[in-house]
Amino acid sequence: MADPRARPLDDDSRRWTLLVAGVCLLPLLLQLPGPTALAIAATAVVIVALSWRKPLSVGVRMLLAITIVIAVAAQFGFNFGRDTGCAMLGAMLALKPSETTTIRDGRSLVGFALFAPFSTFLLDQGPWTLALGLTGALLGLGALQRLATLEGEMPSPGLWSPMQQALTVLAFGIPLALAIFWLFPRIGTPLWGVPDRATAKIGLSDRMSPGDWAQLLSDDTVAARAHFLGVTPPKSAMYWRGPVLSDFDGRTWRRGDNIGLGARDHVQPSRIVWTYTLEVEPTDRTQMVALDVPLAAPAGTTLSLDYSLRAARPLAALTRWRMSSSPPQVMQSQLPEPQRRRALALPRGYDPRTVALGRQLRTRLHDDRAIVQYALDWIRRDFSYSLDAPPLGRDTVDEFLFKTRIGYCEHFAGSFTLLMRAAGIPTRVVTGYVGGRWNRLGGYWMILRSDAHAWAEVWLPGRGWVRVDPTAAVAPERIYDTVGEQLGEGGVLDTLQGPNGLAQVGDWLRQNWNDMVLGFDADRQERLFAPLGLKRMTAMQLVLAFGITASLALGLMVWLTMRTPREQDPVLRAWHRLGARYTRIGLGRAPHEPATAWAERIGKAGSPTARELQELTARFTDSRYAAGVADEASARRLARDLRAHRPS
Amino acid sequence: MARFGGLRRRLLALARPRGPESLPVRFDRRRIYVLPTRFGLFFAALLAAMSVGGLNYNNNPALLMAFLLAGAAMSSLVSAQLQLSGLSVVAVDAEPVHAGRTLHLRVHTRTTDRRVRSGLKVDFDDGDTVPLALRDGTGEVVLDVATHHRGWLDIPRLRVQTTWPLGLARAWSYVWPETPVLVYPRPEALAPPLPIGSGDPAARRLHAAGDDVHHLRNYRAGDSRRAIAWKPSARRGTLLVREFEQPIGTDIDLDWRELHGLPHEVRVARLARWVEDAERDGRRYRLWLPGQPPLGPERGPAHRHACLRALALMPHG
């Protein structure tokens, strides 16, 4: 007894399964680091070429598998995160074709391949990735269809027919799939943690050392989007506060731990309140940003002592937060002693000239405000802004302030802070984003990674922490550049033609995509029927709704599948319809009854339309059986007349 | 697999139909079974992994893909069932063969609706599968059945199955035709030659001389090769057959009683061999079996079948 699953693949089926593997692998490769992706792609091509005629031996396959596992692990520095896992999967998928000879192998290759888009979605959830992934899935169904044809020993179906059948099967499954998607109960908190990306996406980090940010500042992808409800702050006030760094060791600014610094002092908010939703792109970190000082921490986040927000878990997926912020009038009017000591700490043995200058300023000017103003004036006069800053040596601040005098925000913020501390003013570095781009299509602000910024906060008696941005002193356009970006100016066409026009449209599409597809979660699900008056669904109601909808969708699927295929010949179709109309009044044609005999029987039954029916039947039998009599035009007329006929 | 053999047999025994039934049989939802194939189980595990992963990370693209594939799989299940639903097995038949030969069982199927059916296969529970193609609503497959014993052969339970459309699920239905098929006795391999024909002695002697040619006639299909007169045929350019004078007395009597002393089954086998031999030689023969009126004398396919049938149905000794 030969197992039909062990039947060898024909060339077309093999090509097809390989195509599926390729298309499924593609989105994964696009997400992996370049060299790894290229290596995997090359491996796949070589493997397919080597094993085309006969499969590789077990020994060779084992050797290849071990080699590639080690190679991939080495590529990621033996750091087993999500990327490493995905790259491994890609590599194994590239190896799999080496043993694809039977129907069973073909199926396992397709099944395995379908896992690749899934793992890609863990890395990226963009519309293109989804489109590619779904294409792969559809081709996969086509391949399965084709293998089933082969197993059923049917003649080779060509290329299009399995695809068409796969599409049909998929289309019938869509209602059910959507019902599950919208209503299958989601879970609010994950069952297990989110695996880290081995190669971290650039985001705001807990530390800052010279030169770190060059990469971040040239990354024009969106980090967050803000929708203002009500008042929109001027762009010059859009300081999105992120990590606050108060520890400096001479090289690196660090966040330090915030525990044990005493009770958090109250902030006196001003009367201006900005309410907004912030959609944060995934970063795999817990650090969040908020406009200036948030009035409260949204659920799932905590407000640190330095008024920066941290999420309870890494922001691995797109998240949306509703927040209110206000520019503070007074922020921490009393500075507790440990915090003051910390904000005045100088690194031991670094930057002697800066420290000396600070001391000198203190003895010369006395007043804190005057010292700050002096430093800002100096920076404005003698310094310049460039992302292309020369590298700095051991005493970074000394070299920057007294030698190079060219740099970007992190140089300015870091050096200014150190100088103020030397002058005895408690100061800290704040990192975050500044400004944003107005997306006219979507009516929201895009905050790009390249908007990352660092500034300083000085503590002044009576005012508390006050924001001072030394970069704005040299390069105000960095913060205030607003050419053609004012609110509500121009139309959609201007947007398209303006700078970054297409990027804006792209991000608008992406934002909608986020809104409709990615942002759907347990919370949104519970509010799904809010328009119908059902405020929040309980788990039970959700299960019930899911059950009902899924059953309806299943019923629809069965109904769609059960329909007999549509008759292709229009005349025959019209004839069957006509028969069905007679069946409804109890005068249907018996299956064995010839058409003319049926028409006669109707006549004997005394139906008033019998004469017309007999005439139609005669024309019908002529068109069916009298070869050469009927032409296309008369067939069309006949079909039309058959359709028009109504029994009575 | 072998470990679960017992369980599997017990489960299969529960499946409908549980006994032979008369044809035609129409497959409906009560007798169509749909279960995932091994690949289907693998696929289900894959989808489960994707869904749990997607739910855990609230990864909507992953969920969307997993659910779309699940929807397609589900509709393939329905579709698989519909390949069988409404299909009828109208008849089975077979040319009788001698025991030990392969019986070619023809299974005739028909559908009443116009739905296209694909990927159908017919087999016995553990036999070779044979694809079944339907053309204009009717289809026929030939299944090979091994035969071992003479007599009525009960056809085992037939299975019509398909893994169409995606190979994820197998839909199958059993049909257990009541129609028994007759298997003729196995002819004895090394049997003695046919007994001498009976009748009056003169006629017997005449026959013993063997070549009292009455006339020559044209060859007819089914004539024995031995009877062909090669030399006259060569002269006339057409095949001629010697027709012997065949007095009544030269009919052969194949008599059960004369074979006493042989075991029961050997007697049956020898008579079966002699029936075939007599038929091959174009002789008329009469078959005597205990407790039955004699069959014949006669010759020809109908007589052969009648004799072999009687032999096949002899009570087992």
With contacts defined as CB-CB under 8 Å, which chain A residues touch B134? none
Q: How far apart are CA A574 and CA A207, in angstroms?
A: 77
With contacts defined as CB-CB under 8 Å, which chain A residues touch B34? none
Mean residue pLDDT across chain B: 81
Residue B12 has pLDDT above 80, yes or no: no
DSSP strands (E only) in A506-640: none
**Full DSSP string of A62-126:** HHHHHHHHHHHHHHTTT--SHHHHHHHHHHHHHHGGGG--BHHHHHHHHHHHHHHHHHHHHH---
For testing contact with chain B, the best of A86, A104, A121, A592 (most B CBs within 10 A) = A121
With contacts defined as CB-CB under 8 Å, which chain A residues touch B163? 148, 151-152
Of the candidates B144, B138, B281, which has an alpha carbon nearest to the alpha carbon of residue B210?
B281
pTM across the whole model: 0.68
Q: How far apart are CA B170 and CA B192, in angstroms?
A: 54
3-state class of B104 per DSSP?
strand
- The sign one gets for the Cα dihedral A488, A490, A492, A498 is negative
With contacts defined as CB-CB under 8 Å, which chain A residues touch B127? 1
Asked if A342 and A244 touch (Cβ cutoff 8 Å), the reply is no
Segment B237-283, tens digit of pLDDT:
888 877 665 444 467 888 888 888 888 888 889 889 888 888 887 78
**B313: Cβ–Cβ under 8 A, 6 or more apart, which residues?**
B151, B152, B182
Count CB atoms within 10 A of the CB of residue A277: 15
Of the candidates B36, B72, B75, which has an alpha carbon nearest to the alpha carbon of residue B171?
B36
Characterise A111 by phi-psi region: left (phi > 0), alpha (psi -120 to 50), beta (else).
alpha
Segment B45-88, tens digit of pLDDT:
999 999 988 888 778 888 999 999 999 999 899 889 888 888 89
Q: How far apart are CA A561 and CA B83, in angstroms?
A: 10
Q: State how beta strands B285-288 and B295-298 pair.
A: antiparallel
What pLDDT is attached to residue B209?
Answer: 37
Q: How far apart are CA A380 and CA A470, in angstroms?
A: 8
3-state class of B204 per DSSP?
helix
A137 with B63: Cβ contact below 8 A: no
Q: Is residue A304 within 8 angstroms of chain B, CB to CB?
A: no
Segment A22-51, tens digit of pLDDT:
999 999 888 888 888 888 898 888 888 888
A252-268 burial code (b ≥16 CB/10 A, e <16) = bbbbbeeeebeeebebe
Distance of CA A257 to the CA centre of its chain: 32
A173-204 burial code (b ≥16 CB/10 A, e <16) = bbbbbbbbbbbbbbeeeeeeebbbbbeeebbb
Of the candidates A327, A322, A311, which has an alpha carbon nearest to the alpha carbon of residue A226?
A322
Q: How confident is the model at residue A443 (pLDDT cuts 50, 70, 90)?
A: confident
Of the candidates A288, A185, A38, A269, which has an alpha carbon nearest to the alpha carbon of residue A540?
A185
Q: How far apart are CA A562 and CA B79, in angstroms?
A: 8
Segment A457-477, tens digit of pLDDT:
999 988 888 999 998 888 777
Which 190-209 residues of chain A touch chain B by CB within 8 A?
190-192, 194
Rounded to a whole number of angstroms, the distance from the CA of A484 to the nearest CA of chain B is: 36
What pLDDT is attached to residue A53?
Answer: 77
